[in-house]
């Protein structure tokens, strides 16, 4: 079977309403405009930590587990299987990664974390693909099972070891971190000058070359790697055809069951890697409940990215950044974000007026005025709002991006071999 014969099954998207893809110059211009707006807000608010090296480095460390979970969801859903069980697979990854990591070293822990998550993915594939159980029900069951299983295993492993307990593991040796001395120091000095735009760029780039774990580099490479495999290979084309129109794919000779099994198992392995990253790199220890819903946020990042690796990475970066805000000068940084959103909505109002969407423009203007008022009349925001910022950002982003989304056509649908005959 040739690649061209499968392309019809993978390109089942409706022709109407298809948005024109943005060119790279336009994307870079949007990014530059966003950075300029952030820099302006930083100068006005005095929140100089908003784009500091430490802020960006922390945001990256928080975004990686979310991004890996999002990649896992993308693999499964591109093959037509909804994976709500990402959270449970991450939990398995944290436990198995820590269990192997403190005994045999961090890289062995990474391998076992992937295996632990892949086991959860394989179980999800058996339940949904072979037995046809509802995907949501299966995913929720795996999340519950993972919590119970890791709690049970901890009671007779970590609890009997020095430095461990029934709720946490002994400390794990760290993975080597990379810092480019001259470049890192120079960018840090430039960021400390707090110049408009230039210092912000220096802070962002500096955060990407300071204290960078080797596992972070591996995780970042998986984003273009996933894009290349799924969109530039015959294997990826067949896998995506199973999520768009499995009956058409079957008629062209694709073994739909096999590709769904591969996709969901890889999905679990990626989520498990995200869990291992949390235990080994982010904290250096396993703790019960440390995933903190990142599997669900990863799923939200995937949806925000419209089931594409690049968009998913942007979503994960956004959620990681908002999570980082509350850890470094949370009240001041989140207060500055109010001003950022208020100014951003002014541009949204102008765009909506240009598009003659007058009702939406009035609503956006009213929200912008409220945010300006809130920012002007207060010096900081309550701690409860700071803690809720990542989750509020998740809801807002999904609500605003919902109209442009198109998931794989057969996503979540039951499939049985020969049913199209």
3-class DSSP state for residue 420?
coil
pLDDT on residue 398: 67
**Mean of pLDDT values over 209-221:** 91
The tens digit of pLDDT for each residue in 249-305 reads: 999 999 999 999 999 999 999 999 999 999 999 999 999 999 989 999 999 899 888
- Confidence tier at 325 by pLDDT (50, 70, 90): confident
Separation CA 162–CA 410 (nearest Å)? 50
Higher pLDDT, 389 or 294: 294
- Confidence tier at 85 by pLDDT (50, 70, 90): very high
**Residues 398, 351 contacting (CB under 8 angstroms):** no
- Confidence tier at 223 by pLDDT (50, 70, 90): very high
Tokens at 384, concatenated: 């409860």
Give the residue carrying structure tokens 């060119």. 23
The whole-chain average pLDDT of the chain stands at 87
CB burial readout 372-408, b (16+ within 10 A) else e: beebeeeeebeeebbeebbbebbeebeeebeeeeebb
Domains of the chain, by residue range, sit at 42-328, 329-404
**Residues 142, 93 contacting (CB under 8 angstroms):** no
- Confidence tier at 7 by pLDDT (50, 70, 90): low
58-72, 186-200, 385-399: least confident range: 385-399
**Mean of pLDDT values over 202-221:** 90
Share of the chain above pLDDT 90, in %: 50
245-254, 325-334, 368-377: least confident range: 325-334
Separation CA 410–CA 2 (nearest Å)? 22
Separation CA 414–CA 257 (nearest Å)? 11
Cα→Cα distances 399→242, 267, 404, Å = 28, 25, 11
**How is domain 42-328 classified at the architecture level of CATH?**
Orthogonal Bundle (1.10)
pLDDT on residue 21: 63
Residue 12 confidence (pLDDT) above 50:
no
């Amino acid at each position: 079977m040739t690649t061209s014969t499968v392309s019809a099954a993978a390109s089942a998207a409706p022709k109407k309403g298809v948005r024109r893809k943005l060119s790279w110059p336009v994307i870079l211009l949007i990014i530059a405009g966003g950075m300029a707006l952030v820099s302006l807000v930083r100068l006005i608010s005095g929140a100089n930590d908003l784009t500091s090296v430490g802020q960006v480095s922390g945001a990256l460390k928080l975004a990686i587990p979310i991004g890996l979970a999002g990649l896992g969801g993308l693999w499964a859903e591109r093959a037509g299987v909804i994976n709500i069980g990402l959270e449970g697979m991450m939990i398995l990854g944290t436990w198995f990664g820590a269990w192997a990591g403190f005994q045999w070293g961090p890289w062995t822990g990474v391998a076992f974390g992937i295996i632990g998550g892949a086991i959860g993915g394989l179980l999800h594939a058996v339940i949904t693909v072979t037995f046809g159980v509802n995907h949501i029900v299966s995913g929720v069951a795996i999340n519950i099972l993972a919590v119970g299983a890791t709690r049970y295993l901890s009671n007779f492993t970590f609890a009997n070891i020095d430095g461990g307990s029934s709720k946490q593991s002994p400390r794990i040796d760290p993975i080597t971190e990379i810092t480019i001395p001259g470049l890192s120091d120079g960018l840090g000095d430039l960021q400390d000058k707090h110049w408009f735009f230039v210092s912000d760029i220096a802070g962002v780039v500096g955060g990407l070359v300071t204290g960078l774990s080797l596992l972070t580099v591996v995780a970042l490479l998986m984003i273009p790697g996933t894009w290349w495999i799924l969109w530039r290979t015959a294997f990826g084309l067949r896998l995506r055809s199973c999520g768009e129109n499995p009956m058409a794919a079957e008629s062209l000779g694709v073994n739909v069951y096999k590709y769904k099994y591969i996709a969901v198992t890889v999905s679990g392995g990626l989520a498990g890697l995200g869990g291992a990253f949390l235990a080994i790199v982010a904290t250096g220890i396993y703790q019960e409940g440390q995933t903190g819903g990142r599997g669900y946020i990863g799923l939200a990042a995937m949806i925000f990215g419209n089931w594409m690796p690049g968009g998913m990475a942007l979503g994960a970066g956004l959620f990681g950044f908002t999570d980082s805000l509350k850890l470094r000068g949370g009240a001041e940084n989140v207060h500055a974000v109010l001003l950022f959103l208020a100014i951003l909505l002014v541009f949204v109002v102008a765009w909506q007026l240009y598009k003659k969407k007058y009702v939406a423009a009035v609503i956006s203007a009213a929200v912008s005025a409220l945010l300006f008022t809130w920012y002007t009349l207060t010096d900081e925001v309550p701690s409860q709002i700071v803690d809720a910022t990542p989750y509020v950002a998740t809801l807002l982003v999904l609500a605003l991006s919902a109209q442009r989304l198109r998931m794989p056509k057969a996503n979540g649908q039951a499939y049985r071999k020969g049913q199209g005959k």
